[in-house]
Each structure stands twice: as C-alpha cells, then as structure tokens.
Amino acid sequence: MSLITLGIESSCDETGIALYQMERGLLAHALHTQVAMHSEYGGVVPELASRDHVRRIIPLLRQVMHDADVPLAKIDAIAYTQGPGLGGALLVGASVANALAYALDIPVIGIHHLEGHLLSPLLSDPAPEFPFVALLVSGGHTQLMRVDGVGQYTLLGETLDDAAGEAFDKSAKLLGLDYPGGPALAKLAASGCPGQYKLPRPMLHSGNLDFSFSGLKTAVWTLVKQSDNHEQTRADIACTVQEAIIDVLAHKARAALAQTGLNRLVVAGGVGANQLLRNRLNEDIGKRGGAVFYPDLEFCTDNGAMIAFAGALRLAQQQGNKDYRFNIKPRWNLTEITKKL
C-alpha cells in the first residue's frame, strides 16, 4: 500500500488539512476560512489570522482523520506550507507539523505554497500531462511557468508590481465592495455593460511575458473618482475592470504557449475560479487546438489537499527528512526553486 501523506496549509486566512494517498487519491480534507472574521476589517489582520489557525488546526486534523477513518499511527509523512505567507500563520502549521512528525517518528517536508497551487490541477480528472504552461494567479502572485515535471519549473514571466488578484481586490475596495474583493467584483460585473468605459491593459504588447497591474489600479481610482455612485455605474466599472485584467491574462497565456510550442495550459490560484477568465481561455486556447486545465473550484483557493498532494510527490522523490528543526519562509521567492529564461 502506498504512503499516506498529511498536508497542512496555514499560510494566510484559511486553515486546511488533508490526507492523500498515491494509490487511492485524496482520502479526506477539511477547510476553515476566516473570511467572515476579516471582512469586518476590510482585509486580513495577521495577528487575528494566526490566533484563529491555533484554534482551528487540531479540530480540523481530528475531523479529517475521522472522515478518512485513518488513525494517526497510519500516517507515513507530513507536508506543510513553509512559505510564502504571513509569518505567524506559517509558524502555526510548521510547528504542529514538525511536532506531530517528531512524535510519530515520520518524515516531514516543507512545501512552497505556490508549488501547491501549481500542481493542484493534477488532482482533477482529467489531469494534465507534463509538460505544460502554468498560469499562476494566486493572491499577490501572477506568474507564467513552463512545467516539465515535479520540481522542473522554468519561470517565463511574472508581475513587476501588483498581481491580478491585487488588482481585483484593490479595484473592489475602490468601488466600496466588501472583502474578499475579487469574487464581489466579479458578481457586480455580471450586471454591468461591457465597453462603457476604457481602462488600460498594462504591458499587453510589451513583447515579453511579464505583467504589471499597478497602472490599472491607478486608472480605476481616477475613473471611480470622476463617476457617480449609481449602482449601474459601479457595475459597468466593475465589468470594465474585469475585462481589462482578463484581456491581459489571456493574451499573455496565449503568448506563453506560442513561445514554448506547448498546447496545454494549467490555470491555478484563486483568480482561476473566475468564470469569465475560464470561458475566455477555453475559447482562445481551444481555437488553437490546445486544452486548458483547472483545479476543482474548491481547490482554487488555499487548501490542505494541494499541500498533501505536493508533499506526496516530493516524498516520492525521497525529499522528506526527520530533522525537525524547522524554519519558515514568509518571503520565499519561487525563483529559488525555478530558473528564469
């Protein structure tokens, strides 16, 4: 029987626990989101996030073990998010993972949060085959990667300032929408009329695969300031913002496939749940004979399943260890495990 890996995610405002076994797949997973708590403040409060992880992590662990009908003694390894993320939040997951691994005398491995997202579409059916191009649109990260296998990543392009997720969230805040801003803006945009306003598409024709969304945020601020506060006006602006962001993401994704000569695109991260983005990419890439793969909607945002899965793949490469002296990497750059063209 293949190894059972416990995954622990606590990088920001979701506490995620999961059990994964190569032979049987995902055995069980549970997630607690702190959205309701942080919405009172309009964004994530790091100290509150850390304290909530402390409250939630053990009950979630017990729930997952019960749902999977797997006792602690049957766990073969533990994977946890080592970074990037909020320092205090990362410490909660890292300390629990290493303490439990020490008590059970089993290997432990720290996982890069973005690698978890990067590999999460492989949990779906059908799963993409290597190699493929990955569009990572998670929180403060927007990157294009060539993926040739587990740990074989080439950075093609990345954001130079604000990421797509930040552009969604900051624009939503300018429109007076509640946290989390991205889904709220997409919901408002659904009742908006396309083409009512004009906004820039930063670096659309830059000739490379890098991104920049700070100029778009500034343009949205100017547009909101000059407009009335009628509901239809706000909806039209939201629609225009969403179109601008998706135009850039879709254009760069097509360019990345053309540059690499590949025909498979993987989209991962919270923005990957945006239905308009999915529709656009499916249409654009499909016309060119390619295919687009996404994680299931429940795995687009932060979750324990992607960490357990990434951990299982890394452990299969003999990368786990029993050195329980751990450190976290709040600003862990993905380029440390990749190379740039």
Which amino acid, residue 195? G
Verify cis geometry, omega within 30 degrees of 0, for the bond prior to 131.
Answer: yes
- One domain, residues 82 and 171: no
Q: Is 61's pLDDT higher than 90?
A: yes
- One domain, residues 114 and 134: no
Per-residue confidence (pLDDT) for residue 334, from 0 to 100: 78
> SS3 of 137, please?
strand
C-alpha distance from residue 324 to each of 32, 95, 106, 146, 195 (Å): 26, 9, 10, 32, 56
- One domain, residues 168 and 54: no
Q: What is the pLDDT of residues 64-89, one digit of tens each?
A: 999 999 999 999 999 999 999 999 99
Q: Is residue 123 part of a domain?
A: no
Question: Can you name the residues that pair with 340 across neighbouring β-strands?
Answer: 155
Alpha carbons 181 and 174: distance in angstroms, whole number: 10
Report the predicted TM-score, pTM, of the whole model to 2 decimal places.
Answer: 0.95
Q: CATH code at 133? A: 3.30.420.40
Per-residue confidence (pLDDT) for residue 1, from 0 to 100: 52
The average pLDDT across 1-11 equals 92
Alpha carbons 35 and 32: distance in angstroms, whole number: 9
Owner of token pair 């995620």: 16
Q: Is residue 339 part of a domain?
A: no
- One domain, residues 9 and 103: yes
- One domain, residues 261 and 306: no
- One domain, residues 151 and 272: yes
Range of the domain at 178: 129-294
The two tokens of residue 53 are 């992880």
Q: What is the pLDDT of residues 11-46, one digit of tens each?
A: 999 999 999 999 999 999 999 999 999 999 988 999
